[in-house]
Chains A and B, each alone.
Chain A
Amino acid sequence: AQSVSQHNHHVILSEAASLELGCNYSYGGTVNLFWYVQYPGQHLQLLLKYFSGDPLVKGIKGFEAEFIKSKFSFNLRKPSVQWSDTAEYFCAVNAPGGGADGLTFGKGTHLIIQP
């Protein structure tokens, strides 16, 4: 079974600071990787996804993530955060065709951006 580890449970940054949220997964086979965001009072929304190809993927709102297979990592980055980025961020993985089509999520990172 796969698992996902998010290293930072709470992150507080000032506006315009750079952001990197760590995500590591454990699974030996081919995986799909996702970052979801949950703004206060809203449902989970997809930020970006990696299925194959270029390991550097760009998502909405200026977010990007890099898949490093050798490190089993899929870290989320944004060069300059805004107050509106305050939210809960979840890394997730699944292994379609490997008997694990459902997503396995990390515990989440609560990001607070101070104006």
Chain B
Amino acid sequence: DTGVSQDPRHKITKRGQNVTFRCDPISEHNRLYWYRQTLGQGPEFLTYFQNEAQLEKSRLLSDRFSAERPKGSFSTLEIQRTEQGDSAMYLCASSPGGAGIGTEAFFGQGTRLTVV
């Protein structure tokens, strides 16, 4: 499968625990995005990488959230000290575009996080 892959698909965690999600983009796509989607809403942009550089972060990305893309390939999104409000679908997307070029983003299936 050459699409965007996310792992795990589902995660249930207790409040206060840390969680980490992984995203493998489409090979050779140099842009990688993280979004969060809650019930009844459209996806909300969190952050994006151009290769290994994190170029843009949303105000939604509190200091409990951190994202990395150490080698410019896969990315991880970590949430520390999870809260019930963090329950959502976390989506990853990738695109081949360079800076200033409009290209479409390809989305993964998402990781559904439930904080109990």
Chain A residues in the interface with B (C-beta under 8 A): 4, 32, 34, 36, 42-46, 49, 51, 90, 92, 94, 96-97, 99-108
Chain A residues in 8 Å Cβ range of B93: 44
Most-contacted residue by chain A among B41, B43, B100 (CB, 10 A): B43
The 8 Å CB contact of A102, one of B58, B102, B109, is B58
Main secondary structure, interface of B, reads loop
B112 to chain A, nearest CB (A): 12
**Contact A107 B40, beta carbon cutoff 8 Å:** yes
Knowing A43-B107, A43-B109, A44-B107 touch, does A105 contact B42 (C-beta < 8 A)? yes
Main secondary structure, interface of A, reads strand
**Contact B55 A101, beta carbon cutoff 8 Å:** yes
B80 to chain A, nearest CB (A): 22
**Contact B100 A97, beta carbon cutoff 8 Å:** yes
**Contact A104 B101, beta carbon cutoff 8 Å:** no
Chain B residues in 8 Å Cβ range of A94: 102
A45-B107, A101-B56, A108-B40 known; 16 new pairs, CB 8 Å cut-off, are: A43-B107, A43-B108, A43-B109, A43-B110, A44-B107, A46-B105, A90-B43, A94-B102, A96-B99, A96-B102, A100-B56, A101-B31, A102-B58, A104-B45, A105-B43, A105-B44
Chain A residues in 8 Å Cβ range of B102: 32, 49, 51, 94, 96
Chain A residues in 8 Å Cβ range of B72: none
Q: Mark B89-116, 1 if CB is under 8 A from A, else 0.
A: 0010100010111101111111000000
Chain A residues in 8 Å Cβ range of B3: 43
**Contact B104 A34, beta carbon cutoff 8 Å:** yes
The 8 Å CB contact of A108, one of B41, B100, B106, B109, is B41
Q: Which residues of B in the span 38-67 have a Cβ within 8 Å of any Cβ on A?
A: 40-48, 55-56, 58
Q: How far is the CA of A108 from the CA of B38 in the complex (A)?
A: 12
Asked if B33 lies at the interface with its beta carbon under 8 angstroms from chain A, I say: yes
Q: How far is the CA of A4 from the CA of B109 in the complex (A)?
A: 23
Q: How far is the CA of A100 from the CA of B57 in the complex (A)?
A: 10
